[in-house]
Amino acid sequence: MRVVLFCHSLVSDWNHGNAHFLRGVVAELLDRGHQVDVYEPLDGWSRANLIVDQGPSAIADVHRAFPWLRSTSYDERDLDPIALVDGADLVLVHEWSPPALVAALGRARAECGYRLLFHDTHHRAVTDPESMARYDLSGYDGVLAFGAVLRDLYVERGWAKQAWTWHEAADARTFHPIAGVVRRADLVWVGNWGDGERAAALHELLLQPVRRLGLRAQAYGVGYPPEAQQAFAAAGVRVAGWRANHRVPAAFAAHGVTVHVPRRAYVEALPGIPTIRPFEALACGIPLVSGPWDDAEGLFEPGRDFLVAGDGRAMDRHLDDVLHDPALAASLRDHGLATVRARHTCAHRVDELLAIVASLKPRNRGAGRG
């Protein structure tokens, strides 16, 4: 099968966590013998910021880590979508793609006859519905949404004919335990600042517990304004800036515990969606303590895969227990890792994707251009 993927970037994960999952899906499809062509915009903000922040060597580092990774840049001002998708069996369009391109691919399907799915991995359907309503999905087979509540929104609002739940997952090729790494500190936090929507939660569930417990802590991420950097420094947490996603497993291996602080939208309006960070942490075998979120879809076993802290004082207790109780830490590591390996890898998600594609009614391919 020939698969064509349009996304914001496969090369850069600078403030672009969707690249993590998409890389794993592409790798899995290639391993199964499918042909995969990936297209990303020439002027994408993630890659542009990565080069400004880290220099061109960061791109070279990604290609060394993923030698199979190939993507072609397109200029939206001079784009012929049919030329890119002619001969495709399946076209996946990620939700950061330009609305004009999304609509053009829907129109082109009548001529080319491919399966066409829109992929949403963000909270904008709830927090910025006007922007999502701009996408014309009338020519699409449906939507792959990374949570059931988001899936239902697409159908209820008439944005899509049908939709399926397709959670993100860990790329087990990259995210796995690493033995023999010397422990450098107690806690590591990996997360971008974003727009500050979880600033209060970060203070309560990360910075204050670190300060009260006197932990040695390290943070990685981008977009931290000066006031945020000052708050982290005051709590004794060093912000080390961007870290390539394929280098995060080594950071997990060098620390005793990590923390997940869900963004407000996922806590309040999108229950059942953990985002990709917990999948990756559990896949690496690091004990995880999470802020509260509703695992409405039963993805994990809270209390066994990870601990849940309802407030800062509970976070204090959980972090202290994990760091001073080797048996508890080992139990969390083992159980969380087993859950991911059994249910939440990119291989599982590709199985789900292929089953969805197989369920779609056959379409007649047009004359195309070949």
pTM of the full structure: 0.94
Non-local CB neighbours of 37 within 8 Å, separated by 6+ positions:
2, 3, 4, 5, 72, 84, 88
What's the confidence (pLDDT) of residue 150?
94
Domain segments of the chain as ranges: 2-169+346-359, 185-343
DSSP code of residue 201: H
Running along the chain, 370 residues long, what does each successive block of 10 average in pLDDT?
A: 97 94 98 98 94 95 94 91 94 95 94 95 88 93 96 95 97 96 96 83 97 98 93 95 96 98 84 93 98 95 98 98 98 98 98 97 54
Helix 326-343 with 276-283: angle, nearest 10 deg: 110
Closest CA to 236 of 271, 207, 264: 207
Under a CB-based contact definition with an 8 Å cutoff, are residues 145 and 115 in contact?
Answer: no
Fold of 2-169+346-359: Rossmann fold (3.40.50)
Q: What is d(CA 87, CA 84) in angstroms, rounded to the nearest whole number?
A: 9
Q: Are strands 255-260 and 237-239 parallel, antiparallel or unpaired?
A: unpaired
Under a CB-based contact definition with an 8 Å cutoff, are residues 280 and 96 in contact?
Answer: no
Give strand ranges (E) for the chain: 2-6, 35-41, 72-74, 90-94, 115-120, 142-145, 163-165, 185-190, 217-220, 237-239, 255-260, 288-290, 307-308
Give the chain's radius of gyration (CA, Å). 21
Under a CB-based contact definition with an 8 Å cutoff, are residues 241 and 220 in contact?
Answer: yes
2-169+346-359 and 185-343 agree in CATH topology: yes
DSSP code of residue 204: I
Q: Are strands 288-290 and 255-260 parallel, antiparallel or unpaired?
A: parallel
Q: For residue 149, what are the CA distances in angstroms to 118, 162, 192, 242, 270? A: 16, 13, 24, 31, 6
SS3 content of the chain, % helix, strand, coil (to 5): 45, 15, 40
Fold of 185-343: Rossmann fold (3.40.50)
